[in-house]
């Protein structure tokens, strides 16, 4: 009888779930949004501020991966901006796309243990992470290759869309030099993730204007 292979998504989920159970759940806050039918799951972090899609562990994994992929261990501000930008995108995309990306992050976070390492990915030094990612990106296991290449592609797209990264690749920016105008989606994300004190001030100001 032919042995049926384990589907890639189920393999990722089984591995990531095992790691998540070992460390416990991440504390987050659930608050109401401006829409009565919408509920926001907001994770407050010291390093990244408020997150809508990722929990803190996933943000730390993405931060570690981004440092490695773009070979930039010395400028945390750019990497933090990248994490926030991808959190925004994952909040607004279809749920299955967001779930798959977060599953890949959880999978990669605990993958070093399956290769005999005594550390999670985000706890490795930059040199250790670089060596590990280099070693597994050509793995014979499809789930490993897909997780690495998928995360790398999104990191590259997001990182090189930041004007702060352009001098490093010799790009002078758009010819028009017109400043970026934030879309309604980006403005909405900023409003949802601004500090609570600012939210309270903005709400009070809105009520005063309405009066």
CA distances for 55 relative to 106, 165, 172, 175, angstroms: 10, 26, 35, 38
CA distances for 27 relative to 156, 171, 193, 197, angstroms: 30, 41, 17, 21
Q: Is residue 7 part of a domain?
A: no
* Domain of residue 95, residue span: 53-171+179-189
Question: Is the pLDDT reported for residue 207 higher than 60?
Answer: no
Q: Is residue 165 part of a domain?
A: yes
Q: Is residue 2 part of a domain?
A: no
Give pLDDT tens digits for 29-87.
Answer: 333 333 433 457 889 999 999 999 999 999 999 999 999 999 988 889 999 999 999 99
Question: Is the pLDDT reported for residue 167 higher than 60?
Answer: yes
Q: Is residue 10 part of a domain?
A: no
What local confidence, expressed as pLDDT, does residue 168 receive? Answer: 72
Tally of domains in the chain: 1
Q: Is residue 147 part of a domain?
A: yes
Residue 49, classified by CB atoms within 10 Å of its CB into exposed (0-12), middle (13-18) or buried (19+), is middle
What local confidence, expressed as pLDDT, does residue 137 receive? Answer: 92
Question: Biggest alpha carbon distance in the chain?
Answer: 75
Q: Is residue 11 part of a domain?
A: no
Average pLDDT over residues 85-98: 92
Q: Is residue 8 part of a domain?
A: no
Q: Is residue 210 part of a domain?
A: no
């Amino acid at each position: 009888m032919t042995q049926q292979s384990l589907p890639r998504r189920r393999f990722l989920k089984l591995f990531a779930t095992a790691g998540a159970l070992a460390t416990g759940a991440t504390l987050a806050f659930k608050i109401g949004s401006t829409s009565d039918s919408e509920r926001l799951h907001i994770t407050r972090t010291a390093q990244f501020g408020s997150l809508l899609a990722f929990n803190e562990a996933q943000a730390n994994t993405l931060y570690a991966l981004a440092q490695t992929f773009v070979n930039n261990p010395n400028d945390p501000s750019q990497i933090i901006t990248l994490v926030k930008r991808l959190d925004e995108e994952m909040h607004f995309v279809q749920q299955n796309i967001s779930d798959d990306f977060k599953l890949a992050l959880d999978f990669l976070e605990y993958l070093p243990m399956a290769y005999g390492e005594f550390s999670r990915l985000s706890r490795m030094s930059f040199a250790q992470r670089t060596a590990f990612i280099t070693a597994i990106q050509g793995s014979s296991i499809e789930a490993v290759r897909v997780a690495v290449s998928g995360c790398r592609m999104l990191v590259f797209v997001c990182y090189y869309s930041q004007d702060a990264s352009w001098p490093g690749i010799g790009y002078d920016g758009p010819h028009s030099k017109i400043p970026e105008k934030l879309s309604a989606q980006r403005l909405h994300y900023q409003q949802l993730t601004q500090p609570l004190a600012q939210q309270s001030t903005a709400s009070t100001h809105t009520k005063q204007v309405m009066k």
